């Protein structure tokens, strides 16, 4: 992002209001701060207060900026992330997020920035930043394969006549020139579609938000590595005609303290009972709540014994399955 490695940048970051997005954005902020760049990490007060603490060595480089969500009809009070809402209320959170235009304009008017790294939801931010002479980058927490299935920004925004159904969407797209057996599953797409409800003309589709964000930005950052999906990352460069930068998988770097974290202590005690290399770790995501059927199927099909944890902040859970046959 700078030709001279000694140049230190001021970078603002505006993630979507979900902890599955906030946490990777924070990890990227910590990575850039460790290189000496100054970061303005922007979110709502309640979300910022719930973020993990950053290392003391980085506090001088990361400034947390709190902006308030506007009030939106049907959005519960104090709901500032998807964690605070049932799935059918999330569209109202996106409408509230669209109300952050003015606070972001005020921020740009009063801050000297080099870049803004944004998420898919704030599709309106690119043109605003350009008016202020600030470059933007879209940071995808999803792998390049996910983006590749959406195609070019225009295809993501307006759709593809050849893919009207979910069954058609999971087929390898016509713009993919290489062979690949890896693709989204029908189960995943059905679940995502079932969680999206239309709430009126203000509710902009996620695919449109994604395409418009990518079209307006100067670069795309992907949470991936070339060794993992080189063909898909190269495809994105062709589709977007702009730099595509893999920044690694960005695993969470929170340090667990056995004396302060009872949940981690319980997990550690369970792990210590097992031989090295005998445990399979399955990540459901920050806010996923598996159904009883899904948990049972994992217990029956994966391994003889499985320790499952999911969610957080009082909304998650844990369970141990033991299979005798």
- Determine phi and psi for 265, rounding to 5 degrees: -60, -45
pLDDT cut 70: percent of the chain above it: 84
Provide the pLDDT for residue 198.
47
Q: How far apart are CA 12 and CA 104, in angstroms?
A: 11
The pLDDT assigned to 165 comes to 87
What mean pLDDT comes out for the span 269-293? Answer: 79
* Catalytic annotation present for 132: no
- 37 among known catalytic residues: no
Residue 168's CB is within 10 A of a number of other CB atoms, namely 11
The answer to whether the beta carbons of residues 134 and 216 sit under 8 Å apart is no
pLDDT higher than threshold 50 for residue 160: yes
Q: Is the pLDDT of residue 321 over 90?
A: no
Tell me the C-alpha distance between 272 and 270, whole Å: 5
State phi, psi for 42 to the nearest 5 degrees. -110, 130
Instruction: Output 305 or 167, whichever has higher pLDDT.
Output: 167
Give the domain 10-246 fold.
Rossmann fold (3.40.50)
In this predicted structure, what is the pLDDT of residue 73? 92
Backbone angles phi, psi at 268, to 5 degrees: -65, -40
Segment 118-130 mean pLDDT: 98
Cβ neighbour number for residue 199 with a 10 Å cutoff: 16
**What confidence tens digit (pLDDT) does each residue in 71-82 have?**
999 999 999 999
What is the average pLDDT across 241-245? Answer: 98
Q: How much is the average pLDDT of 262-282?
A: 83
For the beta sheet containing 244-246, the strands, ordered from the edge strand earlier in sequence to the opposite edge, are: 62-66, 38-43, 10-14, 115-118, 135-140, 219-222, 244-246
Q: Quick one: average pLDDT of 254-264?
A: 61
pLDDT for 169 equals: 87
**Catalytic pick from 37, 84, 98, 119?**
119
Taking residues 210-237, what's their average pLDDT? Answer: 97
The confidence score (pLDDT) of residue 201 equals 41
Please state the domain extents for the chain: 10-246, 262-322
pLDDT at site 317: 55
C-alpha span between 178 and 138 (Å, rounded): 25
Q: How far apart are CA 282 and CA 309, in angstroms?
A: 9
Question: Could you report the per-residue pLDDT of 15-27, keeping only the tens digit for each?
Answer: 999 999 999 999 9
Average pLDDT over residues 19-48: 97
Among 40-54, 103-117, 161-175, name the one with the lowest average pLDDT.
161-175
pLDDT at 307 over 60: no
Active-site annotation holder among 6, 21, 37, 98: 21
* 163 vs 214, residue with greater confidence: 214
Percent of the chain residues past pLDDT 90, beyond the cut: 64
pLDDT of residue 184: 81
pLDDT for res 280: 75
What is the structure's pLDDT at 174?
A: 95
pLDDT value for 5: 60
| Tokens standing for residue 153 | 């920004």
**pLDDT confidence of residue 191:** 64
- The answer, yes or no, to whether residue 325 has pLDDT greater than 60, is no
């Amino acid at each position: 992002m700078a030709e001279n490695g000694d140049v230190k940048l001021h970078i603002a970051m505006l993630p979507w209001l979900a902890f599955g997005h906030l946490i990777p954005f924070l990890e990227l902020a910590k990575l850039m701060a460790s290189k000496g760049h100054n970061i303005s990490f922007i979110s709502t007060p309640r979300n910022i207060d719930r973020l993990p603490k950053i290392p003391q060595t980085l506090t001088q480089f990361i400034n947390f900026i709190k902006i308030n969500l506007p009030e939106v009809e049907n959005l519960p009070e104090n709901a500032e992330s998807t964690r605070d809402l049932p799935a059918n209320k999330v569209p109202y959170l996106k409408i509230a997020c669209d109300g952050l235009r003015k606070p972001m304009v005020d921020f740009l008017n009063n801050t000297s920035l080099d870049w803004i790294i944004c998420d898919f939801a704030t599709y309106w931010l690119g043109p605003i930043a350009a008016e202020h002479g600030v470059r933007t980058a879209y940071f995808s927490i999803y792998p390049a394969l996910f983006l590749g299935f959406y195609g070019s920004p225009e295809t993501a925004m307006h759709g593809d006549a050849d893919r009207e159904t979910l069954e058609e969407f999971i087929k390898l797209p016509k713009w993919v020139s290489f062979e690949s057996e890896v693709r989204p599953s029908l189960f995943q797409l059905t679940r995502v579609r079932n969680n999206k409800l239309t709430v009126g003309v203000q509710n902009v589709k996620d695919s449109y938000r994604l395409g418009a964000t990518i079209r307006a930005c100067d670069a795309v950052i992907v949470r991936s590595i070339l060794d993992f999906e080189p063909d898909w990352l190269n495809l994105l460069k062709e589709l977007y005609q702009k730099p595509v930068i893999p920044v690694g998988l960005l695993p969470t770097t929170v340090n667990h303290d056995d004396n302060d974290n009872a949940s981690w202590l319980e997990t550690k005690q369970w792990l210590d009972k097992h031989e090295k290399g005998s445990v399979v770790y399955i990540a459901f995501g920050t806010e996923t709540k598996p159904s009883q059927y899904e948990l049972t199927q994992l217990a029956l099909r994966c391994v003889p014994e499985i320790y499952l944890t999911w969610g957080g902040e009082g909304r998650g859970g844990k369970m141990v399955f033991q299979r005798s046959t």
